[in-house]
């Protein structure tokens, strides 16, 4: 058994990690800016220590996008306070951008510091988004220089950087990090409990997508593909930030010209969203993992995604979905039209999605077993 301190500004996939660590018998504490009642597992609620971020709270209450330097201030104060109050432990597991001071405190005491980074190397990601913004005549807000410096410091300080996909791993190698410093641990879905097999659907052919990031999620290509197809008795439903997505004039024009594109602000149970869909599409140009892919697969949905989505390794072409190149509107149209014209394929690909996902969860190559292997290096 190890005493593990986890530092996370928010939640991300910390509950998934914590569930497995508890199952494995480790003694954990989670230092987080998220109040304990947001965590589903009662055991985890009792292991969280709430350290609020002032400007994060203001941003969520007011819905106002605050300047990046205020976000940096939040992160630095959050991290510094925890570094002073966290308990003695055997290992510090920090999430990227949140844990430099905690990692430094650990290393000064000879304690291992592991860094969890789901997204690609920050420099690689920024380059992708800058190109995407220029191509689509959108404003790109570059990463705050001090925040970038903090991230780079964490990369250098960490004993291991835990990444969820080959896509993220390769981005670090391309920036000169050695392979032995990187640990690949593909994630799982946050689906509790197992969703029902039956769908609560209307007759319309329904494409679903989740996410609020206009540039990263590939919304422009999906909107253009859907608009070009003009499928009868169809709809596109989006669980995401409508205001952010409609910043694209291309998307806004398409949205205002149609009545079959629907934005949802919130769902009480994510499985209820998937139950409305025939297929799930995530055409991201940058996605370190993409938890929504395994979630949709667990809900028996065929998948259309891109090679720039980390969780695309779960999708098998012509079996449970399609993995296409990013930024390819024509391929997106072809795959959507394939399912529109083939109801039997929707059902068979959906069954294979569900089977493929649960085969992965129960395999020796699952997330839990990767975490066992990772901690075995420090136990």
207: pLDDT strictly greater than 80: yes
How do residues 266-281 score in pLDDT, each as one tens digit?
888 899 999 999 999 9
Pairwise CA distance, residues 12 & 352, whole Å: 27
Positive or negative, the Cα torsion across 145, 148, 119, 212?
negative
Report the share of the chain in percent with pLDDT over 90. Answer: 86
**Is residue 23, in this structure, part of any structural domain at all?**
yes
Q: Examine the pLDDT at 109 and tell me if it is beyond 70.
A: yes
The answer to whether 339 touches 302, Cβ cutoff 8 Å, is: yes
Task: Give per-residue pLDDT as tens, 315-335.
Answer: 999 999 999 999 999 999 999
Q: Are 27 and 6 in contact (CB under 8 A)?
A: no
- 363 contacts: CB under 8 Å, gap ≥ 6: none
- Indicate the residue among 150, 184, 218 that finishes a domain: 184
Confirm if 118 and 168 have CB atoms less than 8 A apart: yes
CA atoms of 367 and 320, how far apart (whole Å): 21
pLDDT attached to residue 374: 98
- Per the DSSP assignment, residues forming a β-bridge with 82 are none
Residues 211 and 174 in one domain: no
Q: Looking at the structure, tell me whether residues 40 and 86 fall in a common domain.
A: yes
Is 169 domain-assigned? yes
Crossing angle (nearest 10°) for helices 68-85 and 54-62: 140
Tell me: do 18 and 47 sit in the same domain: yes
**195 CB-near residues (< 8 Å, 6+ apart):** 271, 274, 275, 298, 299, 300
If asked whether residues 220 and 331 sit together in one domain, one would say: yes
The pLDDT tens digits for 140-162 are 889 999 999 999 999 999 999 99
In a domain, 267, yes or no: yes
Between the CA atoms of 259, 225, 208 and 61, what dihedral angle is there, to the nearest 10 degrees? Answer: -70
| DSSP single-letter state for residue 319 | T
223 & 162 share domain: no
Contact (Cβ atoms closer than 8 angstroms) between residue 358 and residue 340: no
State the DSSP code for 90: S
User: Residue 70 domain-assigned?
Assistant: yes
pTM exceeds 0.85 for this model: yes
Question: Which of the listed residues 184, 216, 243 is the one where a domain comes to its end?
Answer: 184
Structural domain tally of the chain? 2
More confident residue, 136 or 60: 136
The answer to whether residue 34 is domain-embedded is yes
Closest residue by Cα to residue 172 from 222, 119, 241: 119
Assess whether 116 and 7 both reside in one domain.
Answer: yes
Closest CA to 165 of 303, 19, 314: 314
Indicate if the alpha-carbon torsion angle 167, 171, 176, 177 is positive or negative.
negative
| Same domain membership, residue 107 and residue 213 | no
Q: Is residue 199 part of a domain?
A: no
At residue 274, the pLDDT reads: 95
The backbone torsions φ and ψ at residue 338, rounded to the nearest 5 degrees and listed phi first, read -55, -50
Among the ranges given (52-66, 138-152, 173-187, 239-253), the one the predictor scored with the smallest mean pLDDT: 52-66
Q: Are residues 209 and 179 in the same domain?
A: no
Residue range of the domain that includes 278: 205-361
Do 287 and 308 contact (CB within 8 A), yes or no?
yes
**What is the pLDDT at residue 196?**
61
The first and second tokens of residue 102, run together, are 């905690």
Q: How far apart are CA 320 and CA 314, in angstroms?
A: 9
Do 113 and 241 lie in a common domain? no
Closest CA to 115 of 15, 22, 182: 182
If you average pLDDT over residues 99-116, what whole number do you get?
98
What is the distance between the alpha carbons of residues 289 and 254, in angstroms, rounded to a whole number?
A: 29
If you write DSSP's letter for every residue of 185-223 in order, what string do you get?
--------SPPPSS----SSEEEEEE---TTTTTHHHHH
Choose one of 152, 184, 216: the last residue of a domain.
Answer: 184
Pair 268, 235 in one domain: yes
191 domain residue, yes or no: no
Domain contains 194? no
The alpha carbons of the chain give a radius of gyration, in whole angstroms, of: 21
> Do 229 and 327 reside in the same domain of the chain?
yes
**Do 161 and 231 sit in the same domain of this protein?**
no
Position 59 scores a pLDDT of 73
Helix 367-376 and helix 14-23, axial crossing angle in degrees, nearest 10 = 70
CATH number of the domain enclosing 279: 3.40.50.2000
- The token duo for 204 is 């319309």
């Amino acid at each position: 058994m190890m005493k593990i301190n986890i530092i996370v500004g928010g939640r991300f996939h910390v509950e998934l990690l914590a569930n497995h660590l508890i199952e494995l018998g480790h003694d954990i504490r989670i230092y987080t800016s998220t109040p304990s009642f947001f965590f589903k597992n009662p055991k985890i609620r009792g292991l969280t220590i709430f350290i609020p971020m002032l400007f994060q709270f203001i941003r969520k209450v007011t819905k106002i996008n605050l300047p990046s330097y205020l976000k940096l201030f939040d992160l630095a104060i959050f991290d510094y306070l925890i570094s002073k109050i966290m308990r003695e432990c055997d290992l510090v597991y920090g999430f990227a951008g949140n844990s430099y001071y905690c990692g430094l405190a650990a290393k000064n005491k000879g304690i291992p510091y592991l860094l969890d980074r789901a997204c690609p190397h920050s420099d690689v990601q920024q380059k992708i988004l800058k190109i995407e913004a220029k191509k689509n005549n959108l404003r790109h807000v570059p990463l705050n220089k001090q925040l970038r410096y903090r991230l780079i410091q964490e990369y250098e300080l960490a004993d291991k950087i835990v990444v969820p996909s080959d896509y993220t791993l390769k981005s670090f190698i391309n920036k000169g990090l050695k392979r032995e410093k990187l640990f690949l641990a593909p994630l799982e879905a946050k689906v509790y409990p197992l969703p029902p097999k039956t769908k609560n659907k209307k007759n319309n052919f329904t494409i679903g997508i989740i996410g609020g990031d206009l540039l990263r999620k590939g919304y422009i290509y999906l909107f253009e593909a859907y608009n070009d197809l003009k499928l009868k008795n169809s709809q596109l439903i989006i669980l995401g930030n409508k205001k952010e997505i409609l910043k694209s004039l291309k998307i806004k024009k398409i949205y205002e010209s149609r009545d079959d594109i629907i934005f949802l602000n919130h769902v009480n149970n994510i499985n209820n969203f998937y139950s409305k869909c025939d297929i799930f599409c995530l055409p991201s140009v940058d996605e370190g993992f993409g938890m929504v892919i395994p979630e949709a697969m667990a809900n028996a949905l065929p998948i259309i995604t891109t090679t720039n989505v980390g969780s695309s390794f779960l999708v098998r072409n012509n079996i449970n979905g399609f993995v296409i190149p990013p930024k390819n509107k024509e391929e997106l149209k072809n795959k959507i039209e394939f399912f529109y014209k083939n109801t039997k394929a929707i059902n068979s690909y959906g069954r294979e999605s569900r089977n493929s996902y649960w085969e992965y969860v129960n395999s020796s190559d699952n997330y839990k077993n990767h975490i066992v292997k990772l901690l075995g290096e420090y136990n």
